[in-house]
Amino acid sequence: MQTDKVEGDSMERASKVIARAGYCSRRKAEQYIKEGKVEVNGKIIDIGTKVNPNDLIRIDGSFLSKEEKEYILLYKPRGIVTTTSDDKNRKTVIDLVQSTNRIYPVGRLDYDTTGLLLLTNDGDLSHLLMHPKSCIDKTYIVKINGLFPPVMLKKICNGVVIDGRKTAKAHARVKKYDKKTNTSIVELTIHEGRNHQVKKMFNQLGYQVLKLKRETYSFLTLEGLSSGEYRHLTPKEIKKLYNEVYKK
């Protein structure tokens, strides 16, 4: 009885093990399983299958190998797609970093958006950071057309309805207004990660986003980096990120 309990405690869902090994995200792993592309010890598995550390996992014909965890902070330039590959042969964020591991971006930044982007092969951390319950603060610098008066600041801070649903409360301030170009620079901090959220929030209020840059992600900043450069996170930063999502 005791032996069975120990073995059961060490078993985890195959999708979680695949993600932790750095092969892909947990969601993508579940998709592979549903498509019948994942085998454990030579047998095709279903979505609820659990595995132990000694099982042989094969995904779409390739055996799963454990990679050393890697965590990269990239200053994404404009005109780069946030994917691991692109069917239009555009340059991707993966092309900007040197890594022998199968890393992938945590969330997305639009093609024309610049700024801080994390890349990793740690599927567990990636999943936790992108989960809505994590509420990770992200600060953006937004250039828009026209003057952004206090009444608009109040509206965007209280939340606006996009895609039929109101955004969560945010923090915003106007950093600069240029009379000559009739443009404003607004600093906006949100903790959601909805598709094209920042652009849609300003569009809903009648403004066009001319430039968009992510300045911070939780406690992480772009300090010391120029556009297109990257660095590896320190062990202390990795631990702090885990603490951020686990305390929510």
Q: What is the pLDDT along the chain (248 residues), one digit of tens a residue?
A: 233 333 445 788 999 888 877 788 788 899 999 999 999 999 999 998 999 878 889 998 888 877 788 999 999 999 999 999 888 989 999 999 999 888 999 999 999 999 999 999 988 899 889 988 888 999 999 999 999 999 999 999 999 999 999 999 999 999 999 999 999 999 999 999 889 999 999 999 999 999 999 999 999 999 999 999 999 999 999 999 999 887 75
- 110 among known catalytic residues: yes
2-63 and 71-132+220-246: same fold?
Answer: no
Give me the pLDDT at residue 46, please: 93
Provide the CATH number for the domain formed by 2-63 in this structure: 3.10.290.10
* H or E element at residue 18: helix 14-20
CA nearest neighbour of 126 among 103, 109, 95, 110: 103
- Catalytic one among 9, 46, 87, 110? 110
Give me the pLDDT at residue 116, please: 98
Sequence spans of domains, the chain:
2-63, 71-132+220-246, 137-217
Residue 106 makes CB contacts below 8 A (sequence gap 6+) with: 117, 118, 119, 120, 125, 126, 129, 130
Q: What is the homologous superfamily of the domain 137-217 according to CATH?
A: Alpha-L RNA-binding motif (3.30.70.1560)
In three-state secondary structure terms, 72 is: strand
Give me the pLDDT at residue 248, please: 58
The fold for domain 71-132+220-246 equals: Alpha-Beta Plaits (3.30.70)
CA nearest neighbour of 182 among 141, 148, 142: 148
